[in-house]
Structure 1
Amino acid sequence: MKIRPTKFLITLFALIAGVVWIYPFVIIVLNSVKTKNGIFANPIGFNSFTTKNYYQAFQQLDFIHSFWNSLIITVGSVFLITIFSSMAAYALARTNSRLNSSIYYLCAGTMLIPFQSIMIPLVSIFGKIDFLDRTSLILMNTGLALSLSVVLFYGAFLGVPRSIDEAAILDGASTIKAFFMIILPNVKSMTGTVIILNAMKIWNDYLLPSLVINKDGMYTLPLKMYYFFGETNSQWQLALAGLVLAIIPVIILFVLLQKQIMQSAIEGAVK
């Protein structure tokens, strides 16, 4: 069979890009199961093996509590972001008026505002009302992520025919029921994209939690990893094992939602 040079070059480039992308992760996993001496002797070779690193990192990270804190903040934030942004985008997509257009462009424009320019005033306001905890962090994450999520959902809802809404209402469904039972399932690929984008960002976020959470029992995994790495900066095998433990939940989420993400990307390319 003849292989086209263009297709071969694209495949070769994709293979090289994949190897370059996954190489650091492979090195992290490889060194996380080696002894300290094994890492310094040959960081890219396999010269020793131990599972004690994960046990010690699990204990010293207080992984259960840190994981639970990250899970509560991530799930709570993503749930509110998905619900509010989808409802707002649906209202904007189904109503034609200058006000709605202005609101949409305002949402798009706020994405250009760097977070660093508003983080101090934001935290200061919440601090003055003594409201700096996991709940406030969830609210902050929701507000900061709404603009991008609204823009993403808006484009998806424009691709859903209005006749579906009208048919549902004629069948006796209320607007809310029609939205959640019929319209939103029609854009499940975009819903998956919004979930994974926000979940990865919030799960891995260090800056905002470091400004909001100051109690040891409420640290998220990135915060705990920072303090853990500072305490064990000479124990690279434990730090790398802790990194792998923190990365695993994100990989699982991506694997579960990769079909929706790819479908959303294909639909966006076609449109």
Structure 2
Amino acid sequence: MNKIKKFLLNLLAVLVCALYLFPIYIVIVNSFKNRAELYEDMLALPSKFSFEFYEKAMKKMEFLKAFGNSFIVTGISILCIVILAAMTAWMLVRVDNMFSRILFMTFVATMLIPFQTLMMPLMQVMGWIRDTLHIPMIDTLGGLIYMNIGFGASMAVFLYHGFIKSIPVSLEEAATIDGCNKFQTFFKIVFPMLKPTTVTVIILDVIWIWNDYLLPSLVISQKNLRTIPLSTASFFGQFTIQWNLAMAGLTLTIIPVIIFYLLAQKHIIKGVAAGAVK
């Protein structure tokens, strides 16, 4: 009876995995088909596997330029989020007063606000900053990075805040006795111990920022500043949609994230285990 139950559970797990991976199968298979094959049978394998449509997709979406823009935006945004959020959470934990608790709850509360309710006021404020203070916040990668840092800070502070509570204060006191100032204590003692949480924050933010379409579509209008999600929109015209090229472009978009996730997944497991033990 137990063997039958185990077999049924395994079968159910396989079916759920197949159902979850089915959209990925559709995207990859149809990226190798011409338009006639795609409309004839969307589920069938292509008659031949050729990277012809990948070459066309890369040329149409200016993949290398878009990849560079996405890499710059994602890399700088995550670097700033990790450092600033870790420092903020550390001070909120160590300076335990009413103001710190109110500030932390404010960070948590902002996680509950949907971006769609903020996007129009956000663009108005950024337009005012551009026109009045003459700081380029719209149609620049710097402005997009600045907004990503703001929207990504809350979750990062929340994650770091819980982990820092498990770090003994005695370690920091010993570093202070040895002559370390606040910055040295943080970067040499505290920050290295936050590695599991840091990797988790990086992975979550890479997936979010790399695949984000809505915020860049509001901020960026110049073609040479488009990120990869924006460049994939070039396949969707007003009257026609080049589905095979779009599928190839989407495949190219998700490959870097998958590679990054596979390289970092062992750190996720360590982070979950460390958090469970502590």
Task: Answer yes or no: same fold by TM over 0.5.
Answer: yes
Contact 1:89-1:150 within 8 A present in 2 as well: yes
2:71 is equivalent to residue 57 of structure 1: no
CA shift for structure 1 position 255: 1.4
Counterpart of 1:191? 198
Secondary structure class of the residue paired with 2:236: helix
**Alpha-carbon distance change, 259 to 109 in structure 1, aligned in 2, over 3 angstroms:** same
User: Which position in structure 2 is the counterpart of 1:221?
Assistant: 228
> CA separation in 2, counterparts of 1:5 and 1:101?
53
Shift in Å, 1:172: 2.7
Do 2:61 and 2:234's aligned partners in 1 also have CA atoms closer than 8 Å? no
1:175 paired residue among 176, 182, 194: 182
% of aligned pairs identical? 39
For structure 2, list consecutive stretches of 5 or more residues without a partner in the other structure.
131-135
Contact kept? 2:30, 2:46, Cα under 8 Å? no
State the one-letter code of the partner of 1:101: R
Note the alpha carbon deviations across 1:75-102, whole angstroms, 9 max, x for none.
Answer: 1111111111000001111222111111
Question: What is the aligned partner in structure 2 of residue 22 from structure 1?
Answer: 21
- Tell whether the 8 Å contact from 1:233 to 1:239 is kept in structure 2 after alignment: no
- Indicate whether 1:38 and 2:5 are aligned: no
More deviation, 207-216/12-21: 12-21
Q: Is the 8 A contact 1:206 1:222 kept in 2?
A: yes
32-41 or 146-155, which moves further after superposition? 32-41
Q: Which moved more, 1:53-62 or 1:181-190?
A: 181-190
User: What CA RMSD, in Å, does the superposition of the two structures yield over aligned residues?
Assistant: 2.0
Moved over 6 A (4+): none
Secondary structure of 1:129 counterpart: helix
Amino acid at match of 2:258: I
Q: Deviation per CA, 1:42-61: give whole Å up to 9, x if none.
A: 22222412210111101111
| Higher mean C-alpha displacement, 30-39 vs 207-216 | 30-39
Distance 1:38-1:124 versus aligned 2 partners, 3 A rule: same
Structure 1 residues 141-193: Cα deviation after superposition (integer angstroms, max 9, x where no partner): 10111111100100011111222212222333222122112211212111011
Cα deviation digits, residues 91-129 of structure 1 (max 9, x gap) = 111222111111111111111122122211111121123
Relative to structure 1, the CA distance from residue 182 to residue 123 in structure 2 (aligned partners, 3 Å threshold; closer, same or farther) is same
Cα distance in structure 1, aligned partners of 2:210 and 2:65: 14
Select between 101-110 and 167-176 the one with higher mean Cα deviation. Answer: 167-176
Distance in structure 2 (CA, Å) of the matches to 1:126 and 1:213: 12
Distance in 2, matches of 1:240 and 1:135, equals 30
CA shift, 1:9, in A, is: 5.3
Greater shift in the superposed pair: 28-37 or 168-177: 168-177
Q: Which AA in structure 1 matches 2:174?
A: A
The answer to whether the Cα contact below 8 Å between 1:78 and 1:198 also exists between their aligned partners in 2 is yes
Measured after TM superposition, the shift of residue 233 of structure 1 is 4.0
Counterpart in 2 of 1:160? 167
2:53 partner amino acid = N
Shift of 1:263: 2.2
Equivalent pair of 2:235/2:243 in contact (CA under 8 Å): no
Matched to 2:247, the amino acid is L
Residue of structure 1 equivalent to 2:142: 135
Q: How many Å separate the matches in 2 of 1:167 and 1:203? A: 40
- When residues 191 and 33 of structure 1 are mapped into structure 2, their CA distance, relative to the original with a 3 A threshold, is same
Q: Match of 2:54, as an amino acid?
A: Y
1:70 to 2:77 alignment? no
Residues 12 and 180 of structure 1: CA distance in aligned 2, closer, same or farther (over 3 Å) = farther
Q: 1:93 to 1:207 in 2, by over 3 A?
A: same
Distance between the aligned counterparts of 2:98 and 2:262, measured in 1?
41
Moved more, 231-240 or 54-63: 231-240
